[in-house]
C-alpha cells in the first residue's frame, strides 16, 4: 500500500461512516505532505479530528477526551478501558490490536493512535480503522456513562445532565 492508497483508504472509510450518519459535516484537507486531516461533527455535536499520516502509517484521533490530566484517575481508567478491549477473551471482530493501538495524553488531551504494521493490506487498514472509530464511539457511549464523569461531561461538552440519559 503506497502513501496515496493509505490516504485514500482512510478517506473512503471515514467518509463511509459519514454516509451512514455517524459523522456530520465531514471534510478532508491536506495538513502536510502525506498527511490528511479529516474533520467531522460527532458526539455532543462536537468537532472531532482524525489525522492520517501516510509516512508513519499512523492514524491519530488526537483529542478524543479533552482536558484530562496525565496520570489522573480518569486518564488511568481510560487506559484500562482501552486495554480491556485488547483482551484475548474478546471475539476477533471486537478485539483491538494491542500492539498497534496506543492511548496518548498530549497537552492534557486524551487521544488514540493506530499504527499499521509493515505489510498490512488495505483490508486490514479498513478493519483496524473501523475498530479505532468503534472504540472512540464506545468511549462516549460506554466509558463516559459510568456515572463518574458527569461533571466532566457537563464542563467539557456544555451538556446538561438531563441529556445524559
Partner 1 sequence: MTEKHSTNSTAPDRSATNSENEGFSRRRFIQSAALGAGALGAGSMAQAQNLSDKYDIDMPSIGIAPDFTTSKDMSPSNASFSSDGGMTGAEVFAKACKEEQLAALFCCPGNYDIIHALAAEGIPAYGGRNEGQMCSAADGFSRATGEVAACSGTEGPGFTNMIMGIATANAARTPLLVLASNMQIAGEDREQMIQNVYQQPTTEGMKKYGKRIITPNRVHEYAGYAFRQLKSGVPGPVHLDFPAEVSRARFTESSQLTDYYGRERYRTESRPSPSTEDIKSLIKLIGKAQRPLIVAGQGVFQRKAWEPLLEITQRNDIAVVQSGPCGGHFPDDHRLSANTANGALMSADLVIFVGQYCMPSPNEYAFNPNITMVRVHPEQEDIGRNWPVDLGIVSDEKLFLEALANRIPRKKRKAWVDELAAAREKYERKNQKGYELALKYSEKTGFLHPSVIAAEFENLFSRGDIDPRQTTYSVGGFTIGRAMGRHSFSQRPGQLIGVPYQYGTIGADIGMAFGAGVAQQRGVGPQAPYKGAPTVCVTSDAAAAFGLFELDTANQYKVPMIVIIYNNNAWGTFGLAHRKPQATHLHLFQENLRYDKVAEGLGVRGEYVKTPADFRAALARSYKLASKEGLSSVINCQGIKEFSNARDFPSPGLAWPIEPGRGAVAH
Stretch that binds partner 1, among 27-35, 56-64, 86-94, 97-105 (CB under 8 A): 86-94
Query: Who's near 129: CB < 8 A, 6+ residues apart?
Result: 9, 10, 13, 14, 59, 114
Q: Which is nearer to partner 1, 33 or 92 (CB)?
A: 92
Burial 31-57 (b: 16+ CB within 10 A, else e): eeeebbbbebebbeeeebebbbbbeeb
Letters for 94-113 (x = contact with partner 1 by CB under 8 A, - = none) are: x-------------------
We find the least distance from the C-beta atom of residue 55 to partner 1, in angstroms, to be 27
We find the least distance from the C-beta atom of residue 122 to partner 1, in angstroms, to be 16
Check binding of 43 to partner 1 (CB under 8 A): yes
DSSP classification of residue 36 = E
Distances (CA, A) of 34 to 2, 25, 58, 139: 10, 23, 11, 28
User: Interface with partner 1 by CB under 8 A: which residues?
Assistant: 17, 19-22, 42-43, 91, 93-94, 130, 133-134, 137-138, 140-142, 145-151, 154, 161-162, 164-165
Amino acid at each position: 500500500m503506497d502513501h496515496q492508497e493509505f490516504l485514500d483508504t482512510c478517506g473512503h472509510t471515514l467518509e463511509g461512516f459519514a454516509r451512514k450518519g455517524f459523522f456530520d459535516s465531514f471534510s478532508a484537507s491536506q495538513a502536510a505532505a502525506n498527511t490528511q486531516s479529516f474533520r467531522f461533527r460527532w458526539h455532543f455535536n462536537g468537532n472531532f479530528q482524525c489525522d492520517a499520516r501516510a509516512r508513519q502509517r499512523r492514524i491519530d484521533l488526537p483529542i478524543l477526551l479533552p482536558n484530562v490530566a496525565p496520570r489522573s484517575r480518569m486518564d488511568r481508567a481510560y487506559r484500562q478501558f482501552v486495554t480491556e478491549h485488547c483482551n484475548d477473551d474478546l471475539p476477533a471482530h471486537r478485539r483491538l490490536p494491542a500492539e498497534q493501538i496506543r492511548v496518548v495524553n498530549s497537552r492534557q488531551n486524551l487521544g488514540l493512535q493506530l499504527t499499521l504494521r509493515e505489510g498490512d493490506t488495505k483490508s486490514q487498514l479498513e478493519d483496524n480503522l473501523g475498530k479505532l472509530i468503534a472504540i472512540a464511539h464506545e468511549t462516549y457511549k460506554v466509558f463516559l456513562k459510568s456515572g463518574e464523569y458527569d461533571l466532566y461531561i457537563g464542563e467539557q461538552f456544555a451538556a446538561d445532565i438531563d441529556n445524559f440519559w
